[in-house]
A and B are shown apart, each in its own frame.
Chain A
């Protein structure tokens, strides 16, 4: 019972696998749209699950189940957003869904893993599926192959670094179980080897989160991969990365090591600043969102480096709203591009006339990414800043605040292009079907709801961490 979410998503992938070898592939789309909803329901059903599996290597608790719920919700939305006619070659569709499924499976396992080896294995399951789907794009060119290779190499290197760090952890504490490491680790925490081990271990997740200096892959992969693949890569793996940062960050929790916090603070500050400054000059919206993602990884670190329950809860809250606002932005891109091509900032000109809903959705998402009330981005940022401030890190709070101002320029540019610029040549309006409109309104509602009335959610996360 405890493994129900994982098993159901595994079943999803296997069925897709059968579809891919069978001749008749017509049913796969319907199946792929419906089954994740079942997964979502099953996961919601299992949210109170609690227990240890596989001799303590795998823990099912509220924390992991909440994240799994979030991931399956993300998967549902990503699959609903997929426009199969323009994104992916029809023939590869079953495999595409299958890799999504395996990736989610790995991420779900990651959320529950409390042992170093299983962490590595789960991480690799999720990563390898992603390496495979990056080049799957209609009209594939070298760009996609290049993006995929870059992702693979950077991923492999960061995994290597992570495993190296884990070997130190094992060497110091003689255990691969986080529960044992927590007990034995404090005596090493202020020694160079302890700091090194922890930071190197975290690197693997810094990579997933595209935190500076592990961010180099993000812009190229975002640009190269198809719009839908990017949507997936930009959102769901980051949930799991945050979860693991919290779990492993707990190692430093009991004593609070200044060196580790300082390193994280420097990384966060650099990540925010680099992401936002480079974001200013981007023309391609997906590249822009990649740099915005780098900046947001920095914001997220504010919660992690607080090394407090409150900080962790706010990091979780932030990643949740981050997922939704990014999904919203990518949905605009997916609906705007007619043949699955990338959309540039200049293409947005006249969007408010072509499709008022999309313009509104983009504006809400952009203001949320920038952290302007009354959107969820603001509420999340407020919680992050508060928890970092409470832990006494005023400097990083001010850097974060100033970065908000830098970033507003390019977010505002998106709104400006779609509202106040007219297209040079008149382009036909974008026709949206009813489900697409519903999804748009749903995103707007979620972003505003999380901004105005985050009832319950924060309490849930607080209990969970």
Chain B
């Protein structure tokens, strides 16, 4: 075990703490009756979890590619099933992203959610536990349990607090995702029967036969491609995003979609490297189609939330493009882009939520011409919009440049088409921005953003600028892990 996992040296099991703190908060919430107290408890839980994860980050050792803060408890010995946790340069960021967004999600639902507040906060905190759990698990079954556990609160968030078509959207989301997951389970069992253990690091780079790798890759890729979502499997996304409440949309866009790309990085590449390389041209093609297709669909949207949802398809296309470019730049760009998309799109959904709470409409036309009425709002919205189409100096620019460098090394054509997609992004975001800021001028007075909403967005602004102007600290932390992954792949493929 020492060859891949550094055990936790802190005085307390920090990963378990991060995972189960929200769960404790959720149970506390269940026992309370006063709505105000419930909200505050949830918020405090979220903030404490964030602080714990910051502590985690402070203790993170970027000089090694091994998994850190390891915890190991035998669970079901009859099946060699263990409770193993550990994080590396990939997951530390995704955990931080999750813990940072949770308090924001709670704050943005402060007044937007009016009924069943207790159940709502319970779902949000349960989601957080499951999401952090997915990123920390180093055991397939543990991973799978968290992976599926996420579906239930997410389903409830959409089905109970969702928009008018919540029934359709929530069931489609659940069934679509579950369909992918069951094949994931079959693949997990296949790997278990080959290795005799559900341990994830022990399953990596084992030199399985090509046909085995191929089928495992197909099963994994189906599950992850649905989650990302890649081009032909994206149809659940606009419905779920549009109908979900703001907090649900933020979670979906910022964290849940990342699980798909995280899965590609963590499972597909190391477990089935040869099959991944074999399938890479197809995956690149699907990514490019996703980028272009997403761009064009966005151009014709009249619903703000739908537009941002489809733009996710395009942005996630860049992430998968980076992963399957099989270059170091591509990998690092993909991870950066995962974080950037999480921040930027989360913020944009937040902005849509803010305006929806005031005008009760998501149509662009109904919300046009806000420039003079809501200057602060438009300022934030404009800032995140230009970040979304990768304006230089913002976070997405850095990520996309990394991905594009990687892509051009691999395939000139794919790189060229991806650039076209990036231009499309500028087109639809600017079109949206123009409508929202100028548009018609007969708007009645609406209150501008209040302090609570501004406080939510400020950390995200900081992050956008930080990554945009000085990405080195981030790259430094992920560098060792990515280099190790890249070298391993190189040595197998050449």
Contacts and interface: CB of A to CB of B under 8 A. Distances in A.
A35 interface: no
B160 A419 contact: yes
Interface in B172-202: 174-175, 178-179, 182-183, 185-186, 189-190, 192-193
Contacts of A389: 186, 189-190, 193
A54 interface: no
Given A389-B189, A397-B186, A419-B156, A378 B76 contact: no
Contact of B189 (A397, A453, A454, A458): A397
B167 interface: yes
A408 B174 contact: yes
A459 interface: yes
Contact of A458 (B78, B119, B141): B78
Interface stretch (A9-17, A136-144, A291-299, A399-407): A399-407
B149 A374 contact: yes
B178 A404 contact: yes
A53 interface: no
A383 interface: yes
A404 B185 CA distance: 11
Contacts of A398: 186
A382 interface: yes
B79 A372 contact: no
A171 interface: no
B131 to A, nearest CB: 14
User: Chain A interface residue count: which class?
Assistant: 20 to 34
B152 interface: yes
Interface size class of B (residues with CB under 8 A): 35 or more
Contact of B179 (A367, A385, A405, A459): A405
Contacts of B141: 382
B458 interface: no
- Most A CB within 10 A of own CB, among B141, B156, B170, B189: B189
B132 interface: no
Given A386-B193, A412-B171, A405 B178 contact: yes
B76 A390 contact: no
B193 A416 contact: no
Contacts of A259: none
Contact of A367 (B77, B152, B159): B152
Given A385-B186, A404-B182, A405-B175, A374 B167 contact: no
B285 to A, nearest CB: 27
B227 interface: no
B486 interface: no
Given A386-B192, A420-B167, A408 B178 contact: yes
**Which DSSP category, helix, strand, loop or mixed, fits chain B's interface?**
helix
B65 interface: no
Given A373-B144, A383-B79, A458-B76, A412 B155 contact: yes
A416 B170 contact: yes
B114 to A, nearest CB: 15
B159 A416 contact: yes
A157 to B, nearest CB: 36
Contacts of A372: 148-149, 151-152, 178
A401 B184 CA distance: 10
A405 B193 contact: no
Contacts of A454: 76
A26 to B, nearest CB: 40
A461 to B, nearest CB: 9
Contacts of B144: 373
B154 to A, nearest CB: 12
Contacts of A390: 193
Interface string B330-369: 0000000000000000000000000000000000000000
A462 interface: yes
Contacts of A419: 156, 159-160
A373 B182 contact: no
19 contacts: A352-B119, A372-B178, A373-B146, A374-B145, A385-B185, A389-B190, A389-B193, A397-B186, A402-B182, A404-B178, A404-B182, A409-B171, A409-B175, A416-B170, A419-B159, A455-B76, A458-B78, A458-B79, A459-B78
Given A389-B193, A416-B159, 6 more contacts: A363-B152, A385-B185, A386-B189, A405-B178, A412-B171, A458-B76
